Copies of this chain bind each other. A is one copy, B any other.
Amino acid sequence: MGLCLLERYRHLLPLTDKTPVITLGEGQTPLVRSRHIGARAGCSELYFKLEGCNPTGSFKDRGMVMAIAKALEEGSQGIMCASTGNTSASAAAYGAYCGIQTIVVIPEGDVAKGKMAQAIAYGAHIVAIDGNFDQALSLVRSLTDKLPFTLVNSVNRYRLEGQKTAAFEIVDELGEPPDYLCIPVGNAGNITAYWKGFTEYKAKGLASFTPRMMGFQAEGASPIVKGHPISSPKTVASAIRIGNPASWKGALTARDESGGAIEIVTDDEIINAYRLLAREEGIFCEPASAASVAGLLKLAAKNLPLQDKRTVCVITGTGLKDPEMASQFAETPIKHLPADLKTLEEHLRSLAR
């Protein structure tokens, strides 16, 4: 059998002899070379890291497998999080796999069944509270202090340990780090984790340099760029709709130590990149993922020299998480025709003209 993520990077993860080695097939996601967007950006060597190919459809699985393995090692009876999206999906999957209970606390108003479909399928126990997201998070923090449950929101330090393995994989596959790493920034855990991964590889002599970390926040949810928390963050990209990031400091460290930048992209730029990714690269991602490509195109327009720079954009999750977006931003309406060969042939010939 091939090695799983916890085995492959065991020497760089906080595992002990007592940590159970578990896997749902997370990690080893494709690094795909751009065929069209790289040319648009004047970037000769552009890759996309497809984290949507993880077992629950997002990068969260890398951190969750680590967090759950440690929770099991510590004898936890179950796991708990406040989340309406990718975190709850991933937590519930690993909870089910390991035979422990998963409790998901969500704000009453946010019970969109589509978003919760995975947590429901995996059999998580879902509690909707009469309050907002901050209250939900505060409640799970208090509850996990009192009960033998482990908190698996991003404040769980093992999450970032697992997530940093994506940086390892990129270096392992390319042979060296890229010059630029473009990544969406919401709660800022992922940019923090990638930076940790790149610096650890350099410290171990497994890479000779580190990339510039280029983070991108949505305009209506850009506390780090603005320098203060946003009380009502707004963006079409729900996975980065965060007003007060848990890993704020980590993001600043990544930016400053790497000689990188954290910048703003508008919702229009995100949607444009989301469509380009699907239509020109065959990559259907969740809107938040497209922020990395929106940012790259923005920097290219500002004449950031990308020509001979190897660049990786992190595509954090699959577009299947939010299929309504696809229909909403579709350009081509469905064409209705009679079931007649001649009519169809004429129609198709007219398309080619």
Q: Give the interface of A toward B (CB within 8 A).
A: 1-2, 23-25, 28-32, 35-36, 50, 52-57, 77, 92-99, 101, 103, 105, 108, 111, 113-114, 116-118, 120-131, 135-136, 139, 142-143, 146-147, 149, 173-174, 275, 278-284, 318-321, 323-324, 326-327, 330-332, 334-339, 341, 344-345, 347-349, 351-352
Contact = CB atoms under 8 A, between A and B. Distances in A.
Contacts of A77: 352
A320 B53 CA distance: 12
A142 B28 CA distance: 42
Nearest to A97: B282
Given A55-B50, A147-B348, A281 B335 contact: no
Given A118-B326, A139-B339, A348-B147, A123 B320 contact: no
Nearest to A123: B279
18 contacts: A2-B31, A2-B173, A23-B32, A24-B30, A25-B29, A25-B31, A28-B30, A35-B98, A96-B281, A99-B280, A121-B275, A121-B326, A127-B336, A129-B336, A129-B344, A135-B339, A136-B339, A318-B320
Contacts of A114: 323
B130 A338 contact: yes
A96 B275 CA distance: 11
A50 B25 contact: yes
The 5 A-B residue pairs with the shortest CB-CB distance in the complex, in nearest-first order: A25-B30, A131-B339, A97-B282, A117-B323, A121-B326
Query: Max chain B CB contacts within 10 Å: which of A35, A94, A121?
Result: A121
Query: Max chain B CB contacts within 10 Å: which of A52, A111, A149, A279?
Result: A279
Contacts of A284: 56, 93, 118, 121-122
